[in-house]
Amino acid sequence: MCLGVPGRVVEVRGAIALVDFWGVRRETRLDVVDEPVVPGDYILNHVGFAIRKIPEGEIRETLALYDLLLRESESDMMAADVRGEIAGARPEAPVPDA
Amino acid sequence: MPELVRDTGVSELRFRDPGRARALAAALEQLCAQIGRDTVSVMHVCGSHEQSIAKFGLRTMLPRSLNVIMGPGCPVCVTDVPEVDEAVALALDGKIIATYGDMVRVPGSSRSLADAQAEGARIEILYSAAEAVELARDTTEEVVFFASGFETTAVATAAVVLADPPPNFTVLSAHKYIPPVMEIVAEMPGNRVEGFLAAGHAAAITGSAIFDRFVEHHRIPIVVAGFEPLDILAGLVKLLELIRDGTMTVENMFPRCVTAEGNRNAQAQLWRVFRTVGGNWRGIAHIPNGNLRLRDEFAHLDARRRFAIDVRRLWEYAPATLTQSCICGDIMAGIASPERCPLFGKECTPDAPVGACMVSNEGTCKIWHQYGGHPDL
The minimum CA-CA distance between A26 and chain B, rounded to whole Å, is 12
Are B362 and A2 an interchain contact pair (Cβ–Cβ within 8 Å)?
yes
Determine how β-strand B123-126 pairs with β-strand B96-100: parallel
Instruction: Find the residue in B nearest to A36 (Cα).
Output: B265
pLDDT in tens, B131-174: 999 999 999 999 999 999 999 999 999 999 999 999 999 999 99
Chain A neighbors of B370, CB-CB under 8 A: 75, 77
- Sequence-ordered strand ranges (E) for chain A: 5-13, 16-21, 24-29, 42-46, 49-53
Query: CB of A25 within 8 Å of any CB in chain B?
Result: no
The minimum CA-CA distance between A94 and chain B, rounded to whole Å, is 9
- How many CB pairs (< 8 A) connect A and B? 173
Percent of chain B at pLDDT exceeding 70 = 93
Rounded CA gap, B307 and B327, in Å? 33
What local confidence, expressed as pLDDT, does residue B5 receive?
38
Q: Residue A50: which of A64, A62, A63, A36 has the closest Cα? A: A36
Closest to B125 (Cβ–Cβ): which among A29, A31, A90? A90
pLDDT in tens, B309-362: 988 888 776 556 677 888 988 998 888 999 899 999 999 999 888 888 999 888
Burial class (CB in 10 A: 0-12, 13-18, 19+), B251: buried
The minimum CA-CA distance between A18 and chain B, rounded to whole Å, is 15
Domains and CATH numbers, chain A: 5-87 (2.30.30.140)
Chain A neighbors of B75, CB-CB under 8 A: 1
Rounded CA gap, B289 and A1, in Å? 22
Closest to B1 (Cβ–Cβ): which among A51, A70, A81? A70
What local confidence, expressed as pLDDT, does residue B17 receive?
84
pLDDT in tens, A30-52: 999 999 999 999 999 999 999 99
Instruction: Find the residue in A nearest to B367 (Cα).
Output: A77
Assembly ipTM: 0.86
Q: In terms of pLDDT, which residue wins out, B296 or B55?
A: B296
Domains and CATH numbers, chain B: 13-74+180-252 (3.40.50.11750), 77-177+263-316 (3.40.50.11740), 319-371 (no CATH)
Does residue A91 surpass a pLDDT of 50?
no
Q: Given pLDDT bands bounded at 50, 70 and 90, which one contains residue A93? A: very low
Are B48 and A81 an interchain contact pair (Cβ–Cβ within 8 Å)?
yes
Does residue B9 surpass a pLDDT of 80?
no
What local confidence, expressed as pLDDT, does residue B252 receive?
94
Closest to A48 (Cβ–Cβ): which among B104, B130, B266? B130
Query: CB of B7 within 8 Å of any CB in chain A?
Result: no
pLDDT in tens, B80-123: 999 999 999 999 999 999 999 889 999 898 889 999 999 999 99
The minimum CA-CA distance between B41 and chain A, rounded to whole Å, is 24
Task: Report whether A85 contacts A5 (CB < 8 A).
Answer: yes
Rounded CA gap, B195 and B236, in Å? 9
B window 91-150, beta carbon within 8 A of A: 100-102, 104-105, 112, 114-115, 117-118, 125-131, 149-150
pLDDT in tens, A4-35: 899 999 999 999 999 999 999 999 999 999 99
Work out the mean pLDDT of chain B and round it to a whole number: 90
Query: CB of A36 within 8 Å of any CB in chain B?
Result: no
Rounded CA gap, B370 and B356, in Å? 15
Chain A neighbors of B265, CB-CB under 8 A: 32-34
The minimum CA-CA distance between B128 and chain A, rounded to whole Å, is 5
Q: Write out the DSSP string of B270-326.
A: HHHHEEEEEEEETTTEEEEEEEEEE-GGGGGGBHHHHS----GGGGGSPPPGGGGG-
Are A48 and B127 an interchain contact pair (Cβ–Cβ within 8 Å)?
yes
Chain B neighbors of A33, CB-CB under 8 A: 263, 265-266
The minimum CA-CA distance between B238 and chain A, rounded to whole Å, is 22
Burial class (CB in 10 A: 0-12, 13-18, 19+), B134: middle
Backbone dihedral angles phi then psi of residue B250, each to the nearest 5 degrees: -105, 125
The minimum CA-CA distance between A3 and chain B, rounded to whole Å, is 6
Chain A neighbors of B256, CB-CB under 8 A: 58, 61-62
Query: CB of A90 within 8 Å of any CB in chain B?
Result: yes
Closest to A61 (Cβ–Cβ): which among B118, B199, B256? B256
Closest to B204 (Cβ–Cβ): which among A23, A51, A86? A51
Which of B110, B113, B127 is most worth mutating to test chain A (most A CB atoms within 10 A of its CB)? B127
Query: CB of B190 within 8 Å of any CB in chain A?
Result: no
Task: Report whether B49 contacts B77 (CB < 8 A).
Answer: no
